């Protein structure tokens, strides 16, 4: 990075702060930005500023939205008695893309990771409990990631809901469709056997 002028170094430094972007990728992006037209660069910078100014959390589910209540929570055709709890907005987007879920969501914006300083207070669990306590929720689907942090978060939610008159389910885990058993890890095979179903 020594060969670059100071403004380019600063741009590379800022870009490398993005998740999954190392110094080499940041350098490639900086060089792309340098070659782009001034109009394209202006549109990019304006879109970043616009996102920061306009996007906020939905008052109900904490999805990212431009309005007070997101389009999913606003939709009267959805089943508002069923909540699918996800870690991040991109997980919610993946479920929506499948087109097989017609309930609502609750976005935690993270998962328990005490070593990274993410405890229960960092997640939006109080908002979830308020929704459950409203008495209108019949089922809560826990769709946190099937990893250590996601499992810990799922167990915490289950513990918090103990004694509540609500059906609690967890998304299935196991061998993916089209998967070859000889290439599947031990944990996935273990979960597949544990959550086997009748035919």
Those residues with Cβ within 8 angstroms of residue 22's Cβ, 6 or more apart along the chain or in another chain: 16
Domain ranges of the chain: 6-54, 76-174
Two structure tokens written together for 126: 């109080």
Q: What is the pTM of this model?
A: 0.80
For 6-160, strand residue ranges (E) read 56-57, 64-65, 79-86, 103-107, 139-142
The pLDDT tens digits of the residues spanning 65-111 come to 999 999 999 999 999 999 999 999 999 999 999 889 999 999 999 99
Confidence of residue 1 (pLDDT cuts 50, 70, 90): low
- The residue that leads in pLDDT, 46 or 98, is 46
The angle that helices 125-133 and 148-160 make with each other, rounded to 10 degrees, is: 40
Question: In b/e form, how buried is each residue of 74-103, taking b as 16+ CB within 10 angstroms?
Answer: eeeebebebbbbbbbbebbeebeeeeebeb
Report pLDDT digits (tens) over 160-198: 999 888 999 998 887 777 878 788 888 778 878 877 777
Structure tokens at 156: 């915490």
Q: Does domain 76-174 have CATH number 3.40.50.720?
A: no
Reply yes or no on whether the pLDDT at 157 is more than 80.
Answer: yes
What single DSSP character describes residue 66? Answer: S
Mean pLDDT across 8-17? 93
Q: What is the 3-state secondary structure (H, E, C) of 80-114?
A: EEEEEEECCHHHHHHHHHHCCCCEEEEECCCCCEH
By percentage, how much of the chain surpasses pLDDT 70?
98
Lowest mean pLDDT, pick from 44-48, 79-83, 110-114, 151-155: 110-114
Quote the mean pLDDT of the chain.
Answer: 91
> Which helix (H) or strand (E) segment is 170 a member of?
strand 167-170
- Confidence class of residue 30 from pLDDT cuts 50, 70 and 90? very high
6-54 adopts what CATH topology? Helicase, Ruva Protein; domain 3 (1.10.8)
């Amino acid at each position: 990075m020594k060969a670059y002028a100071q403004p380019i170094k600063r741009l590379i430094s800022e870009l490398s702060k993005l998740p999954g972007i190392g110094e080499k990728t940041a350098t490639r992006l900086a060089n792309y930005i340098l070659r782009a037209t001034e109009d394209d660069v202006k549109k990019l910078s304006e879109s970043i500023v616009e996102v920061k100014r306009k996007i906020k959390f939905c008052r109900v589910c904490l999805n990212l939205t431009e309005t007070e209540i997101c389009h999913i929570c606003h939709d009267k055709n959805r089943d508002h008695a069923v909540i699918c709890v996800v870690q991040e907005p991109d997980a919610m987007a993946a479920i929506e893309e499948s087109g097989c879920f017609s309930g609502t969501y609750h976005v935690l914006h993270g998962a328990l990771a005490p070593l990274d300083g993410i405890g229960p207070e960092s997640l939006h669990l109080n908002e979830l409990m308020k929704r459950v306590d409203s008495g209108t929720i019949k089922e809560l689907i826990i769709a946190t990631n099937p990893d250590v942090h996601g499992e810990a978060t799922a167990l915490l939610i289950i513990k918090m809901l103990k004694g509540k008159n609500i059906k609690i389910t967890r998304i299935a885990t196991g061998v993916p469709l089209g998967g070859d058993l000889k290439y599947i890890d031990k944990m996935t095979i273990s979960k597949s056997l544990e959550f086997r179903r009748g035919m």
